């Protein structure tokens, strides 16, 4: 653990960036006693450098070993090469960790699905039982917000499942975006979900949804969904100003920045959709529901497409890391100049 005096300095820095209200006051106590920082992440946060939060479910549940470990290392390296510090978040032996060592990444990758898939609702259970937990989007957002990391990169967020109007199966990622001030950089929502209903739900939650260099909301494996993006931004600097404005206005919600998968790496939309429909039918026949459904569908779709969907998944995560890092660096630069009373030119 970092020393208590060091943690106090970090807490004071966080309070300076986001003045405490009653909810944040309760959260600050988590910094004091439960969260463990890697030295790299701690130093970056203390000095105001750009930090990018990364989830860990993609490591434990998203792909097989050793491909999951290789991808995790490559994504972290992309973040570093673009001027930011990666903070992969997980719970190990009941301790929430912000930033993982090489040994911890290896451990999580080899644990695979034996690490509990941990959403917000599961955090206390995993911590209290000293279990190992791989954080989903909602849990990663919670911890990132708690320690003052404003930018989080993932593959795709969860959403409203197909036939969600009957099953009420709606990902906690959406409600987390509605109440947690973190910018999430993703390739839209997974195309196994109901994208139009997901966008409607995000609107209800008051979440600003941005198409990055696109007018059309991306669909994870492909760069088109048939749904118009609510707004469009074309540079990291524009995204940074949006995030900063959201914070200063104290809106209290997150921002979703949807980045299309690069066209050259986009899988065939019709091929993926056909596989999705077959996998959904199999899931219903096997009564696979709830948190088990998405991992099953992604794995089955990968099988049905001969590995094409997994290759696309890895490509889009890396691209999101590239974009997210540039946004985090632009935001850190903006806030540094703002603290000095300087104005950056609009680019």
- The reported pLDDT for the residue numbered 62 is 83
The per-residue pLDDT for 347 is 56
Please check whether residue 297 is in contact with residue 283, taking contact to mean a CB–CB distance below 8 angstroms. yes
pLDDT under 70 in the chain at which residues?
Answer: 1-33, 267-270, 341-347
Buried b (16+ CB within 10 A) or exposed e, 189-225: bbbbbbbebbbebbeeeebbbbbbebebbbbbbbbeb
- Distinct helix (H) and strand (E) counts, the chain: 15, 11
Q: What is the pTM of this model?
A: 0.87
Q: Choosing from 55, 76, 176, 293, which is the catalytic residue?
A: 55
Overall residue count recorded for the chain in this entry: 347
- Residue 25's pLDDT is what? 43
- Predicted confidence at residue 346, as pLDDT, reads 59
Strand pairing report for 95-98 and 85-92: antiparallel
Spot the catalytic one: 190, 237, 318, 326.
190
pLDDT in tens, 110-139: 999 999 999 999 999 999 999 999 999 999
pLDDT tens, residue by residue, 179-226: 999 999 999 997 788 999 999 999 999 999 999 999 999 998 888 889
Instruction: Say what the pLDDT of residue 345 is.
Output: 58
d(CA 187, CA 262): 10
Is 190 annotated in the active site? yes
């Amino acid at each position: 653990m970092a020393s208590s005096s060091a943690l106090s300095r970090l807490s004071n820095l966080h309070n300076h960036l986001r003045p405490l209200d009653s909810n944040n006051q309760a959260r600050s106590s988590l910094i004091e006693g439960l969260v463990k920082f890697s030295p790299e992440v701690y130093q970056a946060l203390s000095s105001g450098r750009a930090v990018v939060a990364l989830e860990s479910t993609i490591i434990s549940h998203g792909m097989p070993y050793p491909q999951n470990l290789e991808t995790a290392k490559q994504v972290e390296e992309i973040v570093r090469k673009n001027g930011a510090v990666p903070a992969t978040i997980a719970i190990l032996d009941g301790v929430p960790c912000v930033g993982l060592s090489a040994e911890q990444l290896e451990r999580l990758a080899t644990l695979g699905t034996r690490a509990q898939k941990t959403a917000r609702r599961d955090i206390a259970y995993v911590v209290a039982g000293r279990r190992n937990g791989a954080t989903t989007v909602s849990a990663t957002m919670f911890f990132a917000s708690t320690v003052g990391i404003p930018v989080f990169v993932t593959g795709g967020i969860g959403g409203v499942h197909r036939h969600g109007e009957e099953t009420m199966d709606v990902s906690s990622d959406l409600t987390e975006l509605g109440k947690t001030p973190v910018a999430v950089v993703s390739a839209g929502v997974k195309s196994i979900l109901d994208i139009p209903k997901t966008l409607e739900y995000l609107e209800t939650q008051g979440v600003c949804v941005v198409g990055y260099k696109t007018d059309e909301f991306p669909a994870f494996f492909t760069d088109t969904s048939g749904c118009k993006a609510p707004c469009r931004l074309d540079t990291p600097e524009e995204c940074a100003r949006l995030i900063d404005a959201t914070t200063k206005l104290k809106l209290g919600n997150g921002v979703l920045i949807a980045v299309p998968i690069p066209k050259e790496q986009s899988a065939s939309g019709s091929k993926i959709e056909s596989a999705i429909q077959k996998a959904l039918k199999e899931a219903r026949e096997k009564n696979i529901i709830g948190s088990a459904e998405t991992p099953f569908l992604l794995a089955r779709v990968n099988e049905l497409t001969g590995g094409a969907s997994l290759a696309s998944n890895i490509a889009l995560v890396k691209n999101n890391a590239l974009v997210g890092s540039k946004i985090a660096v632009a935001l850190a630069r903006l806030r540094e100049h703002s603290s000095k009373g300087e104005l950056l030119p609009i680019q």
